[in-house]
Structure 1
Amino acid sequence: MSAALADPGGGRMALALTVNGHAVRLAAEPRSHLGDVLRDGLDLTGTHLGCEHGVCGACTVLLDGEPVRACLTFAGACAGAAVTTIEGLDTDEIAGELRAAFNREHALQCGYCTPGMLVAARDLVLRLPEPDERRIRVGLSGNLCRCTGYAGIVRAVMAVIAAQRARGIPPETGAERTLGPVGARTGEGTVAAVHLPASAAASTAPAAVAELAASFAPAHCFVQALDLAHPPEAVFALLGDIEAVAACLPGAVLTARPTPDMVEGGLQVRIGPIAATFRGRARIERDEAARSGSVHGAGSDAGGRSATEGRIRYRVGPGSAAGTARIELEVGYTLTGPLAQFGRPGLVRDVAGRIAVELARNVDARLSGVAAPAPAGLNPLRLLLGLVRARLASWFGHP
Structure 2
Amino acid sequence: MRTVALSVNGRPAAAPVAARTSLADYLRETLSLTGTHVGCEHGVCGACTVLIDGVPARSCITFAAACEGASVTTIEGLETDPVTDALRAAFSRHHGLQCGFCTPAMLVTARDIVTRLPDADEARIRAELSGNLCRCTGYVGIVAAIREVLAAPPAAPAPVERALGPVGARTPEPRTGPEAPSAQLAQPAPSGVAVEESDTDGAADIAAQDWDQVMKDGTRLAQSFTVAFPPSTVWRFFADAGRVAGCMPGARVSALGVTDGRRQSVRGEVRVKLGPIVGAFGGVAEIETDEAAMSGTVRGLGRDANSDSRARVVIRYDVADAGSGTPGGTRVDVTLAFLLSGTLAQIGRSGLVRDVADHVTRQFVRNLEAALSGTPAAAPDEGVLDAGAAARSVLGARLLRFFRRLFGRG
Q: TM-score, normalised by structure 2?
A: 0.55
Please give the per-residue CA displacement for 1:4-24, whole angstroms capped at 9, x wherever unaligned: xxxxxxx9989896747xx6x
The partner residue of 2:384 within 374, 377, 382 is: 377
Equivalent residue for 1:94?
83
Residue equivalent to 2:285: 281
State the alpha-carbon separation in 1 of the partners of residues 156 and 41 from structure 2.
Answer: 35
User: Conserved in 2, the CA contact under 8 Å of 1:298 and 1:309?
Assistant: yes
Residue aligned with 2:268, SS: strand
Counterpart pick for 2:361 among 327, 332, 352: 352
Residue 251, structure 1, aligned to residue 250, structure 2: yes
Which of 314, 322, 327 is the equivalent residue of 1:308? Answer: 314
Asked if 1:85 is matched to 2:74, the reply is: yes
Match of 1:195 in 2: 174
Q: Deviations over 1:192-238 (max 9, x none)?
A: 97224533446977757xxxxxxxxx973423669xxxxxxxxx99x
Distance 1:172 1:16 in 2: 19
Q: What is the match of residue 30 of structure 1?
A: 16
Please give the alpha-carbon distance, in whole angstroms, between the structure 2 residues aligned to 1:274 and 1:33.
28
Aligned residues of 2:42 and 2:350 also touching (Cα < 8 A):
no
> Does the Cα contact within 8 Å between 2:91 and 2:145 map onto a contact in 1?
yes
CA 1:67/1:383 → structure 2, altered by over 3 Å: closer, same or farther?
closer
Q: CA deviation at 1:112?
A: 1.0
Q: Does the CA contact (< 8 Å) of 2:51 and 2:57 recur in 1?
A: yes
What corresponds to 1:297 in structure 2? Answer: 298
- Given the superposition, is the C-alpha separation of residues 331 and 164 from structure 1 closer, same or farther in structure 2, using an over 3 Å criterion? farther
CA displacement 1:307-350 (0-9 Å, x = unmatched): 22144979xxxxxxxxxxxx999462322557477587554222
**Cα drift, residue 119 of structure 1:** 0.9
1:280, 1:14 → 2: CA distance?
36
State the partner residue of 2:64. 74
The answer on 1:59 being equivalent to 2:65 is no
CA distance in 1, matches of 2:400, 2:227: 19
Residues in 1 aligned to 2:245 and 2:393: alpha-carbon distance in whole angstroms: 23
Structure 2 match to 1:323: none
Answer yes or no: is 1:111 the counterpart of 2:118: no
Q: Which amino acid aligns with 2:359?
A: D
2:222 — aligned with what? 220
Taking the aligned partners of 1:159 and 1:360, their CA distance within structure 2 comes to: 54
Residue pairs, 1:315-394, within 5 angstroms: 330=332, 332-337=334-339, 339=348, 342=351, 347-354=356-363, 375-391=382-398
Note the C-alpha offset of 1:89: 3.1
SS in 1 for 2:284: strand
Whichever residue aligns with residue 174 of structure 2, its letter is: H
Q: Secondary structure at the match of 2:225?
A: strand
- Contact 2:43–2:58 at 8 Å: present in 1 too? yes
Larger-gyration structure (1/2):
1
Cα deviations by residue, 1:131-190 (Å, 9 ceiling, x for unpaired) = 1566545644543434455565455445543x148x9x899999999654596xxxxxxx
Q: Contact conserved, 2:273 with 2:388, CA < 8 A, in 1?
A: no
Structure 2 distance, partners of 1:100, 1:223, is 55
Paired residue secondary structure (2:255): coil
Aligned counterparts of 1:14 and 1:351: Cα–Cα separation in 2: 36
Name the aligned partner's letter for residue 74 of structure 2.
Answer: T
* Post-superposition offset of 1:111: 1.7
The superposition leaves residues 30-80 of structure 1 with CA deviations (integer Å, 9 ceiling, x where unpaired) of 22766556556765432323345655432333456444555546399677x
Q: Determine helix, strand or coil for the equivalent of 2:16.
A: coil
Q: Distance in 1 between matches of 2:330 and 2:336?
A: 20
Q: 1: distance between equivalents of 2:351 and 2:52? A: 25
Counterpart of 1:350, as a letter, is H
Higher relative contact order structure (alpha carbons within 8 Å, sequence separation ≥ 6): 2
* Cα RMSD, aligned residues only: 6.1
SS at match of 1:99: helix
CA deviations 1:112-143 (Å, max 9, x no partner) are 12101211221121112521566545644543
> Within 1, Cα distance between the matches of 2:16 and 2:310?
28
Note the residue ranges of structure 1 that are not aligned, 5 or more in a row. Answer: 1-10, 184-191, 209-217, 227-235, 286-292, 315-326
SS at match of 1:46: coil
Partners of 1:33 and 1:60 lie apart in 2 by 12
CA distance in 2, matches of 1:45, 1:220: 36
